[in-house]
Chains A and B, each alone.
Chain A
Amino acid sequence: MAFYEENPRHITKADIIVAIPSFNEAETIARTTEQAAKGLVEFFGDRKSVLINCDNHSTDGTKEAFFAAHGDIPGIYLSTPPDNRGKGNNLRNLFEKVRELETEIVVVLEADVKNVSPQWIRKLGEPIAKGSGYVCPLYVRHKYEAPLTNSIVYPLTRCLYGRRVRQPNAGDFGFKGQLVDTFLDSPVWTESMRNFGVDIWMTTIALNARMPISQSFIGSPKVHRTKDPYAQLVVLFRQIMGTIFDMMPVYANFWRQVKWSKPTALFGMDNLDVDTPLPVEVNVSRLHERFLQGFDKYSSAWQQVYDQTVFHKLQEIRSLGLQHFSFPTQTWTRILFDAAATYQRLGEQERANLLDSLLPLYLGKVLSFVKKTERMSIQQAEEYVENECMVFEENKPHLVKIWE
């Protein structure tokens, strides 16, 4: 049960919920709420709808902005205690509320999305009404957007659980209400999962719940508050990777049997007006520098985790210099698999060290991707990612072997 709740219309049942997690989002939550309310009226007008703001005890007037904007759709405000931050904690309050209201369809939207429209509610809600268990969005993305998804989260999740979900850690999604019991029963409820890791945590659970998963084509890029990609990189990387690795033993009996991968159903292909994503600038020198700095700091750690072949390959990559830089996917796959298996044998602090030591290697892989795809169209870069996924899948027997 939430630490604090306001339910002014005393709602006790809802067919569909649109939930907006927040922490100090007074500036943006009103627009998101208005668009969500319009979407609920336009596309789910015959159902009992509720808007829920799952908040982290904001002090900037988020709650007031939310209640001022929800239109004719009833609103509920839930909050964690003041010192209990993180989207995962917000969503836990939501799950409990979904169970209480016996809700069939749940859509979650991030509060700071500037271009959310009523159509997003249809695109994330309708597949659930038609039988999907979980819906991930497919935003239009520039080839250099979401590098962590391209280099790790998508290929690794696909290779492990056998389903091709292209943007599995997106912050906006839809799910069937009955999944909340599975979420609440999850044995993984870590600090990482409560923060940046929560989106991939949910998708992983849904993939293992064996419910049909859909991807819904949004048709536009996701425009949200500009963030410095380096500002939170260490924490973000550690939490997302930690969550992925923490989930692996839970579902090992499943993923060890998975061979290759399968596509998902697609939704939202009826309106194919596609926006062009804004270009993303990448500072290749900085990526290269961070990769090289990794040798000074983590050489001995790498030698403990990875075998001689991998370590020699890393030295060879270092010797290439920026102009000819290339990080083979085969080596990258091996590094991730070895790191995942080693992680399971370590204590908490050692795990954090391992993830930190993986970060410069990841930045090297991103640099390699940028260089390989610099003359490619978005479509060609997308094919490049698909080919990298095949390398992950081809090498999966190595992971299964070292896991045992």
Chain B
Amino acid sequence: MPKILVVDDEEHIRLLYSEELKEAGYEVITAESGYKLLERIEDEKPDLVILDIKMVDYNGLDILQDIRNQFYDLPVILSTAYDTFKEDMKSIAADFYVVKSFDLTELKKKIAMALETRLPT
């Protein structure tokens, strides 16, 4: 069962994503901030990260840079309330992005694509 780490400072988003993604067959773990996130990834070894861009204490795009530098091929989906983040070049280090919604159809589609992306070793 693929393990997904949801990083978001809004509790209702963490709950929504957890419930829906568990129902869709994924194992879900959550984090409410970017604090010690790299260590968490190292320990928990998720198959995919869903990362909020604007958190109270952290900029998701900076965290994305750190993730990409340390875990080169770990899929990351940016989750955001507004798509203005695309003006920031840092966002191109993400596999995909989704605009937050209560309908997770698009998110689930992007998760499936990110997990089936295949580069032979």
- Chain A interface (Cβ < 8 Å from any Cβ of B): 130, 138, 162-164, 166, 210, 212, 215, 217, 254, 257-266, 269, 272, 379, 383
Contacts and interface: CB of A to CB of B under 8 A. Distances in A.
Which secondary structure dominates where chain B touches chain A? helix
B89 A261 contact: no
Contacts of A130: 69
14 contacts: A162-B119, A163-B119, A164-B92, A215-B92, A259-B116, A260-B116, A262-B73, A262-B117, A263-B68, A263-B94, A265-B93, A269-B89, A379-B86, A383-B86
A257 B65 contact: no
B92 A162 contact: no
Contacts of B105: none
Closest 10 CB pairs of A and B: A260-B117, A259-B118, A257-B120, A162-B119, A265-B68, A266-B93, A263-B93, A269-B90, A212-B72, A265-B69
Interface size class of B (residues with CB under 8 A): 20 to 34
A254 B65 CA distance: 28
A266 B91 CA distance: 10
B89 A263 contact: no
A258 B86 contact: no
Nearest to B61: A269
B57 to A, nearest CB: 20
Specify the main secondary structure of chain A where it touches its partner: loop
Interface in B14-43: none
B113 interface: yes
B118 A266 contact: no
Given A138-B89, A166-B92, A260 B65 contact: no
A217 B92 CA distance: 11
B113 A254 contact: no
Contacts of A138: 89
B68 A266 contact: yes
Given A212-B72, A269-B65, A262 B89 contact: no
B116 to A, nearest CB: 6
Interface string B80-91: 000000110110
B86 A162 contact: no
A35 B120 CA distance: 40
A265 B68 CA distance: 5
Nearest to B121: A210
